[in-house]
């Protein structure tokens, strides 16, 4: 995974390693894929602004609290289903990864 640089790299790896039925389920979206397509569109349109040679004391901080716990970066794993289609440990593997 050290060579992965974008979401498509993860999708390719998943397609190569998961049973077709599992990959198709994970890749699909509900209700005509409206949210899936909207999220992909919005993610593609995020333009990162490099911050080299800037004053780091004025950098934007992302610290927040989630369910009463302090976190430095608010990245979470959303609840999903059927993790056992990918691994026999199911949701336990996801919880360990989190």
Q: Which residue, chain included where needed, has tokens 């691994």?
A: 87
Taking the C-alpha atoms of residue 93 and residue 88, their distance in angstroms, rounded to an integer, is: 9
Residue 26 in domain: yes
Q: What Cα–Cα distance (Å) separates residue 6 from each residue in 3, 69, 84, 86?
A: 9, 29, 25, 21
Question: What percent of the chain has pLDDT above 70?
Answer: 100
pLDDT bin (cut points 50, 70, 90) of residue 90 is very high
Answer whether residue 2 is part of any domain.
Answer: no
Does residue 35 have a pLDDT over 90? no
Residue 88 lies in a domain: yes
Q: How many domains does the chain have?
A: 1
CB contact set of 90 (below 8 Å; sequence gap of 6+)? 83, 84
Q: Provide the token pair at 16.
A: 């190569």
Residue 56 has pLDDT above 80, yes or no: no
Structural domain boundaries, residue 68: 7-97
pLDDT top residue among 50 and 44: 44
Q: Which residues of 28-66 are buried (b: 16+ CB within 10 A; e: fewer)?
A: eeeeeeeeeeeeeeeeeeeeeeeeeeeeeeeeeeeeeee
Look at residue 13 and tell me if it is in a domain. yes
Residue 57's pLDDT band, with cuts at 50, 70 and 90, is confident
Whether 1 is covered by a domain: the verdict is no
């Amino acid at each position: 995974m050290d060579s992965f640089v974008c979401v498509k790299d993860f999708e390719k790896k998943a397609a190569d390693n998961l049973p077709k039925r599992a990959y198709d389920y994970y890749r699909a979206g509900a209700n005509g894929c409206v949210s899936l397509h909207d999220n992909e569109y919005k993610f593609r349109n995020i333009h990162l602004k490099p911050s080299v040679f800037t004053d780091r004391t004025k950098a934007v901080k992302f610290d927040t609290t989630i369910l009463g716990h302090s976190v430095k970066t608010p990245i979470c794993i959303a609840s999903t289903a059927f993790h056992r289609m990918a691994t026999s440990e199911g949701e336990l593997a996801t919880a360990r990864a989190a």
